[in-house]
Amino acid sequence: MDRAVSRGGVPIRLTEERWFHIVENHDDLAGYYDEVLDTVENPDMIIQGDEGALVAAKRMAPRRHLAVVYKELTADDGFVVTAYFTRRLARRTVLWRRQQHAGQ
């Protein structure tokens, strides 16, 4: 099991069981384990998810984002629910967005 630290400072677990579940349902994510953890730690934006979940998103290519759904249970514990590639991010409340620098 590996962990990433969310923007909220919460350690987020990615267990072996959860990773196998993710890859079983989204086989295009095979080989992107490190990128899933990195997206939690260094997202381009965080979107409000369902049932208290958060969605960290990172642009991987033009019109392609990696979205990682996770929950922060306490200040000291959270876990990845799922992850997937998407062309469109859900039209939901953006909770945080990386500041763009001039020229980007």
pLDDT at 93: 95
Reference 54, options 21, 78, 85, 24; nearest CA is 78
Lowest mean pLDDT among 9-18, 47-56, 68-77, 94-103: 94-103
Give 7's DSSP letter. T
pLDDT at 101 over 70: no
pLDDT by residue (tens digit) across 24-64? 999 999 999 999 999 999 999 999 999 999 999 999 999 99
pTM for the structure as a whole: 0.93
What's the mean pLDDT when you consider all of the chain?
94
Rounded alpha-carbon distances, angstroms, from residue 23 to 1, 8, 54, 83, 101: 15, 26, 20, 9, 34
Domain boundary assignment for the chain: 2-96
Report, in angstroms and rounded to the nearest whole number, the Rg of the chain calculated over CA atoms. 13
